């Protein structure tokens, strides 16, 4: 299948993919500095677009001005508009044919994006993401390389497994796709507050229109624990407000995608169960009465301090 050579940023001239990465951020400069080296060490990165949700802070601007980081550009929405608006602005500034989303509180394993791009090049998917490991402890991980983690549940809508990929109706937020496709299915700023469901909505719209969404179990992203996230981000609000926006956005999401969700078997009790699962701590308590949660397990990674 291949990528269009008409776009000079589709390849680097040596047969390698060139990928622009969009990282929305909001008042979390220390976290951003911590995870940014992992993005810079990804192979075949074109530019990294940091989009600040609000006015551009001097700290974020300084990251782009450092002589050692010519691949970073920093832009801002001007006022706090939410992650969907930040991602849309980032897409408008991307120049490569392939664009991926990152986060300021998560970091990719080596070659995360390159492996995903190979699947797109082969026509196995239109949008693809890896799996996210949600870390339960990070305080000493940068030194020891040992992290206790809980794996997330598989994305809903799994239909079959082909060639190591899981074909699904939607996957997680750290996905990769062609820029022209992502521009046609922009994140909806209507998913306000904590942005719950803002990444699932465009993917399910793509799936409903016949696009192929895939999950690659061999590609891994690591998400910092919430206790480590302080001072900003979409979760910079009270727990009650967080739960409110989860519930509100879920109701909007389920109402908008009722037909597609019915095709996936989410109707009646199953839809209610899915809704309860998604509403944070309350949903977790209800869900675990029916299905026990996975126990944390420990994995040993390359020393994170060396990687950074």
What is the residue whose two structure tokens read 């791009």? Answer: 117
Instruction: Extract the tokens encoding 161.
Output: 């497994």
Q: How buried is residue 145: exposed, middle or buried, by Cβ count under 10 Å (0-12/13-18/19+)?
A: middle
| Residue 142 reports pLDDT greater than 60 | no
pLDDT at residue 5, as a whole number: 29
Q: Are 17 and 287 in contact (CB under 8 A)?
A: no
pLDDT at residue 67, as a whole number: 58
- Of 163 and 30, the structure prediction assigns the larger pLDDT to 30
CATH superfamily, domain 19-301, is Spore Coat Polysaccharide Biosynthesis Protein SpsA; Chain A (3.90.550.10)
Give the torsion sign (CA, 57, 63, 66, 72).
negative
Provide mean pLDDT across the span 249-277. Answer: 67
- Measured CA to CA, the distance from residue 71 to residue 64 in angstroms comes to 8
Label residue 92 by pLDDT band (50, 70, 90). Answer: very high
Label residue 84 by pLDDT band (50, 70, 90). Answer: confident
Instruction: Extract the tokens encoding 170.
Output: 């939607």
Distances (CA, A) of 115 to 107, 129, 133: 15, 10, 17
Distances (CA, A) of 214 to 7, 67, 207: 24, 37, 10
Average per-residue pLDDT for the chain: 73
- Measured CA to CA, the distance from residue 135 to residue 168 in angstroms comes to 24
pLDDT, tens digit, 9 for 90 and up, residues 19-45: 999 999 988 888 898 889 889 989 899
- Which of 128, 155, 157 lies closest to 216 in space, CA to CA? 128
Looking at the chain, how many residues does it have? 308
pLDDT at residue 255, as a whole number: 78
pLDDT, tens digit, 9 for 90 and up, residues 265-301: 665 555 555 555 544 433 333 333 333 334 444 444 4
pLDDT at residue 212, as a whole number: 92
pLDDT at residue 150, as a whole number: 45
pLDDT > 90: percent of the chain? 22
Domain boundaries, the chain: 19-301
Taking every pair of Cα atoms in the chain, the longest distance, rounded to a whole number of angstroms, is: 57
Name the packing angle between helices 239-256 and 200-208 (round to 10°): 10
* 75-79, 86-90, 130-134, 189-193: least confidently modelled range: 189-193
Q: Looking at residue 15, what DSSP letter applies? A: S
pLDDT, tens digit, 9 for 90 and up, residues 113-126: 988 999 998 899 99
Label residue 180 by pLDDT band (50, 70, 90). Answer: very high
């Amino acid at each position: 299948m291949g990528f269009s050579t008409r776009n000079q940023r589709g390849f680097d001239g040596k047969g390698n993919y060139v990928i622009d990465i969009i990282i929305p951020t909001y008042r979390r400069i220390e976290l951003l500095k911590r995870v940014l080296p992992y993005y810079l060490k990804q192979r075949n990165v074109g530019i990294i677009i940091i989009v600040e949700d609000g006015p551009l802070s001097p700290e974020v601007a300084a990251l782009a001005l450092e002589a050692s980081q010519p691949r970073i550009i920093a832009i801002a929405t001007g006022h706090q508009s939410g992650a969907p608006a930040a991602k849309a602005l980032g897409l408008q500034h991307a120049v490569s044919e392939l664009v991926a989303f990152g986060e300021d509180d998560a970091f990719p394993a080596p070659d995360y994006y390159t492996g995903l791009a190979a699947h797109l090049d082969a026509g196995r998917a239109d949008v693809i993401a890896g799996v996210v490991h949600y870390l339960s402890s990070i305080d000493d991980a940068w030194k020891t390389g040992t992290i206790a983690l809980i794996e997330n549940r598989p994305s809903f809508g799994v239909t079959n497994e082909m060639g190591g990929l899981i074909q699904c109706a939607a996957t997680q937020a750290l996905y990769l796709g062609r820029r022209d496709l992502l521009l046609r299915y922009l994140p909806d700023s209507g998913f306000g507050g904590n942005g719950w469901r803002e990444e699932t909505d465009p993917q399910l719209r793509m799936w409903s229109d016949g696009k192929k969404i895939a999950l690659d179990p061999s590609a891994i992203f690591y998400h910092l624990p919430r206790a480590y996230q302080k001072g900003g981000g979409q979760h910079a609000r009270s727990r009650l407000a967080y739960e409110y926006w989860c519930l509100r956005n879920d109701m909007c999401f389920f109402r908008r995608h009722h037909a597609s969700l019915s095709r996936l078997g989410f109707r009646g009790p199953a839809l209610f169960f899915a809704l309860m699962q998604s509403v944070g701590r309350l949903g977790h308590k209800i869900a675990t009465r029916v299905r026990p949660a996975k126990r944390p397990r420990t994995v040993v990674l390359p020393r994170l301090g060396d990687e950074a």
